[in-house]
Structure 1
């Protein structure tokens, strides 16, 4: 226990403020999407990722990586999106073990309808409350935290067979 680098009082305050802000922000965005579009933020993120992919299609393993999701969690979500008619899944021609998820026209229309409310919520509760200097600092901080976690997250996914 003596080798633990305990948080100082100031670090403890920063940590709790950060976690509170992230939890409230993501919770608010999820509730907004549920209320206005009938989908959780995880489904919205899948639709966005597919909408940005060539031919609105992506291998499921790549989609899981882009959405920071496990393959099993993504597969469950895509199954729900298939039931809605928003996504179609088909076997990958080059690799029989893989499959491709494709955003349907109906799914694209649902995304187009959901996007304005989502963007408004992001703008109102993130960009509008920060100064330009704070936004630059947030971008820098976010990149640093992401870079510090990338190797660890990749290693954990590999151990779990997620790659």
Structure 2
């Protein structure tokens, strides 16, 4: 999780020393050496370069996982297994299901979120103390709803009904 790509501003963080193979006395010469991974990735020994590639794909992507502080070994192993099972599935091509998001779409989504936050701030300052429903904590719904509504429109939907829970 310490070097996962989860900073929306794209800023890189410095990797801790203990995540560098050299920290453990390993070098470029060891990259083809086979290592037993135990429950990790494969029951068979793997070359070090494959182990590193798989670990980076599992733990250094756009979702970070911090779980080594969990004392219960069964729970920790369950999390590891679930995370690493994902690595055994074939990787989706980058253009399937919206995984390849254009810069234009990212900017459009950012503008939507900024506009929604602006409305929230205005309503909060304009109607101080008034009971009202807020978007607070639900901002991630904006791009989801936009994609859903646009997609339904493209499919010919004539009406969309959205219900709201009442307190």
> Which structure is higher in RCO with an 8 Å CA cutoff and minimum separation 6?
1
In our comparison, the structure showing a higher alpha carbon Rg is 2
The structure in which a higher percent of residues are strand is 1
The answer, yes or no, to whether TM exceeds 0.5 is: no
Q: What is the TM-score normalised by the length of structure 2? A: 0.24
- Name the structure with the higher helix share: 1
TM-score with structure 1 length normalisation? 0.24
